[in-house]
Structures are given as C-alpha cells and as structure tokens.
Structure 1
C-alpha cells in the first residue's frame, strides 16, 4: 500500500555485511558498479560520486580533507562538559557548531591544529539538542530546553530568544531562503519562527507524540515533520495548514532529512532499526535499507560527491555499540561502516568531500572518523567507564553521586565546563556565587547556604520544588538512607583535602549534582 511499510516490524536481519575495503579497491568497485536507474538526477549524483572517489584513489597526492590534513594529530573537539547531541559544519567545513548536555553551544575553528574553540554560548536553560548555521554565515540557531536562540557568531550576542514550546526541542530546520526557522518539540508541536521580523509564525499541531524531526521542502513551501507516532506529515509553511500524512511507519521516527536536489526525497531512521527513503510528493517508498537490531538516531548528508550517513546503536553481547553506515546517494550502495564501542552515536556531520565524519555520543567531545582513505586500525581514546557510569563501587553515597550528580558536576577546583559548577568546597558556600558559572536568577537570588540540611531538602523535595525556576534537572532521591549516604560522601569528596583523589575519580569515570 502506498505510504505504508508492510514488512513485518519485528523482523531484523541477524548479521550485517562488513565493508572493510581499501581506497583502491573502493575505487575499482565504484568504477565497475553503475547505479540502478532512479532518474537523471540520481544518475548524475552517482557519476559525481564515482569520479570523486576514483580520482582520490588514483592520485595519492590529491588534496585531503581540510579537517584532517594527512590524518595526523588529534582533531577531536574538546571543551564540552557533557555528552554531545548536535553537530553542524559550515559548507566550507572550516567551522563547526556543537551542542551538549552541558547547556552550551560551542563554535570551533576546524582549520586550526588542533581545532580551536572560538566561542561558547551558555545562556540556555536546558541541554542543547539541536543547532543550525544560517546561510549568511554570521548567525546561528540553538535549541536549549524549550526555547530557540538566535546568535551573532562574531560577537556572541544573543540576538533573540524565541519562546513558545512547552517542552524540550529536539530538532531545528531553516528554510532555503533563510527567512524562517522551524523547531520540533516533545510538546507534540512544530513551531515556525520568522528570523527577519523575529515574530512567531504558525504552530503545527497533529502529531500524537513528541516530534523528533523537521525539514523544509526544496522550494520552502512545505514543512515535513516526523515523530514518535511513526508518521511523516506535510504542512503548508505559509499559514501552517495541514496537508496530509505522507507515510505511516508504525514505529517511532528519530531522525529525518531531505536529500540534496530539487526533488523532495526524504530519508528517515526509526526506533525499529529500519531506515527508508520516500518520495515526499507521493508518499511512495523509494528505498529501504537493510534493517539493524537497534535504533537509528542521526542522519548526515554530503551533496558532493553524494553521500549519506546513518548512525545509531545496537546491542552486542550485552554492550551498547554505536555505529555509522555510509551509503552512496546515487544507488544506495554501502560504502563504509564504523563501530564505536563507547556507546550510541547521537549526532554527526561530514567533513570536506565526505572524507571524515565528526560524531558525538556519550563522551564530552566530538570525535573524528576518517572515512576515506580508511585507516586499517582505529583507536578511540578516553577513560572507561566515564565519570557518570557506575564502576563497581560498594559505597552507597558514591553510587548515588555517580548516578545523580556526576554527569553535571565535578569535585575538583578545576572541574571545567559541565552542565553545573564544580562542587569543590560545596559545604558552607552560598548558592549561586561560584565565579564563572552562568547561574539562573533563581540561584543568584537564593538565600541558601549549602549544608547537610539544605542538600537534604534539595534531593528530598526535588530541585523544581525546593528552587522553582532552577536549571537543575529532576534528581529527587526518595529514599532517606540514600540521601544520607550521598550527603556523607559529598562532605568528604568535596573537601579540599580530597581534591587529589577526586581528580583521580574524575579521570577514571567517577565524578559529581546540576546548578549549585
């Protein structure tokens, strides 16, 4: 039936074909294999892909990706204080925007060696799950919590804050002319924002669950949305009128993007481990990729030479293993695969000519994978388990700290940028007074001194009740014995005498609760 995938939703292939080919073999493969007919546009794209990869194989001294000259040096983007959930590079691949659980967006210079942090944007009230670069190269958008921020990249000034959503925002999209932005939210709506007048536009309502993805049509006249209700819907961008349900997948859709070109072809990845391409004009399925045993989480596109990347995670032997699959747009042929033993891959974008992929997951940094030429051996640096992952401790207080606090806080005086400030010397400190941290007005104006009694109230009542308006997430601890154990641990671990041991814990994956 058009617009519906009738395959058994529970069926998955148990094995995947691993594509581990050298660049020379890849060039030969692309020369020998011609794309299946999918119209002149796709034929041209496939030929561009063939030519680019074949030229790379035939000329060892050809210019390499500007983001990875010679493949030497650490190209990771280091500076965030929490997992990275959004990545976007400019068209020249010289700048990158990243958004993190640490409530910040960061702008990077990728031409520097190592890459250099240009600016940090940290006024958000929630974790930054989506970022977007404006076509003018001077402005950017970020989604922190339920608000959309418009930024001046040169000065770091917040030009405007668009408010209206009732829950966190999962995705952003810009119209082709750059005049409109669209934000998809867990409040089951998509909102349009006029970037010129800075006025709120239409609100798109109709999804039966959180909306995870949004995209504009090539002409900007239509908005496409997808979410947990398993549907892809289309709307008129002028006025926001609902047009139709384009596709019913049956399982939640996590990511969706419009493919490059004049035709409105949409690719999406879902919770059931399936990814498909559909024609947005008819709702017909164009291609279905081989199913995996875990959800797809992110999509990246490179118009030239014509590449598509899909990422997510699978369970293997009890472990959560992240993956990236790269395909050729011309005929959907698989090009490369990558596995990340450190967990899900939530965000990614291509480097220049598709030779690298910048990706983010549970680590505090963005890692670079060299797609072409593929390295024979790849190592992923960083301590395991991470500071917010349990490491077999028998101390109930430390266990609560790792589970409830360590993702947002450290215990050392040089704790760095986390979603919350360091808890070093917490006891006896007035709330909202640590220099260098952007506290909410609630904490700045709170008449609270942190002690065993006030921390007991914080976790007993929950941050939103004890300090209404705080940026702290809900971390209520109902069990009084667990609260008592956490407070006892914090008394010792946050003390100046314990800084050396706390730093060691931070490096080996045991750290420390949000805004305090």
Structure 2
C-alpha cells in the first residue's frame, strides 16, 4: 500500500516529475478509481477511489506524489480549482479543499445529508457546485459563506455542471436534467427515458447527459434534445468533453470508453480495457490524451488521436484472490464482498478494511483505516457468532452508522459457510 508522501509544494512536486521513471499505468488505489481531474497545466492528476483515498499523480511519470486520507467513505468526485487547490467529495457527505503539499484539508465543507456524487467549478472560478444523494445540489462560494441549496430533484442528484454563462445544471436518478438560474432558482427541467448518472457541458453550452439506458443525449441550453447516440448495452457512468468541446468521451460499466465526434454524433473509436467498469474519464488540457480510472484500480493514459493505450498493451484483470477456494460455498458467498475487502494484511484496505486477522478483533480497531465515529463507539468483537449475526439482520441494524452497503444473507447454511470460509481465509 502506498503511504502518504509529504511534499513541500509545487516546486518539490515538479522536481519529482523531472526525475522519476515513466509509467503509463498508475497503480496505488486499493479499490476502483471513482473520480479523476487534471490540472490546468496538464502535469498533475487527482484521483479519488472507493478505498477512501485521493492520490495526486505526476502524469508523465506515473508517480504518486501524495496519497491523502481524510474521508470516511469512497471519494466519489474530485475537481481542480483555478487557484491551484483541488477539492474531493465523498460518500461521507463532506467536501475537502486541499492545497498541494499539505497533508490535511485546508477547509472542509459540510451540509449535505447524504453521499456527495459530483463536483463542478463555475466558469469564473468563484463557486464550487456539489451534487448529492440527499436530493439536493449546493453552490459553495469559494471565498467563504453559506451554500445555496438547489432543491427539486425526486431522488439522488448524481451530477452537476455549469453552463458557460454560470448557470448550474444537474442530473439525477429521477431521469431529469435541470437547468437553474445563476442564483439557484429552477428554470428548465428535461425528463429523459432513464435514470441519469453523469453530465458534461461544452463551451457552446450544449449539455451531454447519460445514464442507465446507455444512451448519450445532447441537449440545448433551452432544454431541447437535439441528438442522441446509443452505446449499449452497459450503462454510461462518466462523461468528459475534450477541451475544445468537439469530442465526448463516454465511459461505461461494460469496461469501454466511446469517443464521439459531437458534430456528426459518430463514434470515432472505442477504448477497450480489461473488461471492468470504467468509473472516471478526463482529458489532458491540450486534448492529446485521455485519462481513465476503473474497476481494475488503475489510472490509465490513452492517445486521444488514435485510441491506443500509452504504455504496455497487456491489461490483465486483477488476480482472482478466491481461485484457491474454488468449489467452496463460503467463497462463492464472499464474492459479493471481495471488491471492498481484502483477505490478507499485505493487500491493505480497499473500500472497506482488510479482513486479515478478523476473528478476535474489536470492531473499528485497525490503525490504517478511517472508521465512522459510530463504529468506533461500539463494543463488538468479531467472532463466528457476531459475523453471522451481522449478515442475518443486516449492517444497518447490527452496526448503525456503518457505511457498509446494506445486505443480508437469509440462508443460515450460507451464513455458516461464509463464517467457515472466513475462519480459514483470514488467518
């Protein structure tokens, strides 16, 4: 696991960039790479992961300059601010503002009552917008002061962006794209056929929106749908427009990224990776490269002119940690957990803590993982009985305040098989 690397500031970072060996596949996250942003000079990228970490990368070298652990949940969104700072937003409902070289946030924005799923910076650089699963978006003055709350969506707000004139745009699971006034008042609402997960806005004000039905739709600033591109069958989960607005990269749960020419709505080429979801995509400012982050836990670089990967062509899936337990019922039950939890201490935390040495350990006691305060206050020791009970009644009831996805195992035989497997695999 990469440890936090203290750096003194931009000069130190650039010194590292000048001397480190190049690598086009950037490895450091312990879980899927959920979010990406690139600095204005194109030299640095910031990524957010399901492992609760944000990483600052030197793009030309593949070097992790700093690994930042502050959030108590997956880092779902990142944004680069005009003054050299950057923002991270998390499942924990908080937004952190960072300055390069500092190991702790310079400022923390709190107010959302649910996971924050998206961030955007206004064209004038004065406002940070956030979209959250509490059904709201918020406009935060970066100079300080209270946020304006945008209300109207019927469900999770998954994405936010700004029109060139400074008006915010939001999209949500209620299948609507909503355009607001600069003051945060609702102006236009467009209802599309399925839930929406991502937005992008071109320099000419055209809005691109996509989600569950695997179709990208181009919408005018007045709310009229002008064109659509079907990408199916997998949902589209991330969009990014090239700096000139002429090409749109659409990343999907099926593991590919389609690059679309906006004027003709033709697919120019498709980036094909290891077959795992591509959660995030960004462009370098000169339009020469695409940067992607996905379920293989890597940040990758691609030639934006040809769609060819930069660096080795080999793109293996992560090793199947359960292969040694083939045929065991408990291992099959655990497959639902393997994306978030490793079994061995040397694999480190993912979205959830490692389960190595689980039995006999007090809840929320690993020193290298950020637990919620609710879990830290509990008096539970993990035993075969307590683990079985967790999945019998569900995490929300057994460990209130957990960020663990709600799931129960209704079969007593399956719970027993899981416990037997964990007793063996976590030693």
Q: How many Å apart are 1:192 and its aligned residue?
A: 1.9
CA gap of 1:431–1:250, structure 2 versus 1, over 3 A, is: closer
Contact 2:114 2:134 in 1 (8 A): yes
1:228 is aligned to 2:173 = yes
In structure 2, what is the equivalent of residue 302 of structure 1?
Answer: 242
Long gaps (5+) in structure 2: 1-16
In structure 2, what is the equivalent of residue 275 of structure 1?
Answer: 216
**After the TM superposition, which of the residue ranges 438-447 and 185-194 deviates more from structure 2?**
438-447
Pick from 315, 322, 342: which aligns with 1:381? 315
In structure 2, what is the equivalent of residue 217 of structure 1?
Answer: 163
Considering only aligned residues, what root-mean-square deviation do their CA atoms show, in Å?
Answer: 2.9
Question: What are the Cα deviations for residues 242-273 of structure 1, in whole angstroms up to 9, with x where unaligned?
Answer: 1122x33232222211102xx32212224323
CA gap of 1:449–1:374, structure 2 versus 1, over 3 A, is: closer
Pick from 157, 182, 186: which aligns with 1:242? 186
Once residues 248 and 413 of structure 1 are traced to their aligned partners in structure 2, the CA distance between those partners, rounded to angstroms, is 48
State the SS of the aligned residue for 2:333.
Answer: helix
Once residues 435 and 143 of structure 1 are traced to their aligned partners in structure 2, the CA distance between those partners, rounded to angstroms, is 21
In structure 2, what is the equivalent of residue 468 of structure 1?
Answer: 400
In structure 1, what is the equivalent of residue 281 of structure 2?
Answer: 348
1:97 is aligned to 2:46 = yes
Question: What are the Cα deviations for residues 166-219 of structure 1, in whole angstroms up to 9, with x where unaligned?
Answer: 332221111122222221123322122222224222x22222332222112213
In structure 2, what is the equivalent of residue 317 of structure 1?
Answer: none
Contact 2:393 2:408 in 1 (8 A): yes
Contact 1:387 1:407 in 2 (8 A): no
State the SS of the aligned residue for 2:345.
Answer: coil
Once residues 285 and 457 of structure 1 are traced to their aligned partners in structure 2, the CA distance between those partners, rounded to angstroms, is 50
State the SS of the aligned residue for 2:147.
Answer: strand
CA gap of 1:292–1:444, structure 2 versus 1, over 3 A, is: closer
Contact 1:134 1:141 in 2 (8 A): no
Question: What are the Cα deviations for residues 313-348 of structure 1, in whole angstroms up to 9, with x where unaligned?
Answer: 5xxxxxxx4222223456555432223351332211
User: Larger relative contact order (C-alpha < 8 A, sep ≥ 6)?
Assistant: 1
Q: Which has the larger radius of gyration?
A: 1
Aligned residues: 408
TM-score, normalised on structure 1?
A: 0.72
Q: Show the 5 A alignment for 1:447-466.
A: 447-466=379-398
In structure 2, what is the equivalent of residue 257 of structure 1?
Answer: 200
Q: How many Å apart are 1:293 and its aligned residue?
A: 3.7
Once residues 182 and 47 of structure 2 are traced to their aligned partners in structure 1, the CA distance between those partners, rounded to angstroms, is 27
Contact 1:105 1:142 in 2 (8 A): no
Contact 2:78 2:86 in 1 (8 A): no
Contact 2:296 2:318 in 1 (8 A): no
Contact 1:355 1:373 in 2 (8 A): no
In structure 1, what is the equivalent of residue 378 of structure 2?
Answer: 446
Q: How many Å apart are 1:95 and its aligned residue?
A: 1.0
Q: How many Å apart are 1:134 and its aligned residue?
A: 0.9
TM-score, normalised on structure 2?
A: 0.85
Long gaps (5+) in structure 1: 1-67, 314-320, 496-516
Contact 2:89 2:116 in 1 (8 A): no
CA gap of 1:182–1:374, structure 2 versus 1, over 3 A, is: closer
Once residues 195 and 304 of structure 1 are traced to their aligned partners in structure 2, the CA distance between those partners, rounded to angstroms, is 26
1:363 is aligned to 2:307 = no
Once residues 86 and 289 of structure 1 are traced to their aligned partners in structure 2, the CA distance between those partners, rounded to angstroms, is 24
Once residues 434 and 130 of structure 1 are traced to their aligned partners in structure 2, the CA distance between those partners, rounded to angstroms, is 26
State the SS of the aligned residue for 1:150.
Answer: strand
Once residues 143 and 224 of structure 2 are traced to their aligned partners in structure 1, the CA distance between those partners, rounded to angstroms, is 36
1:432 is aligned to 2:364 = yes
- Structure (1/2) with the larger strand percentage: 2
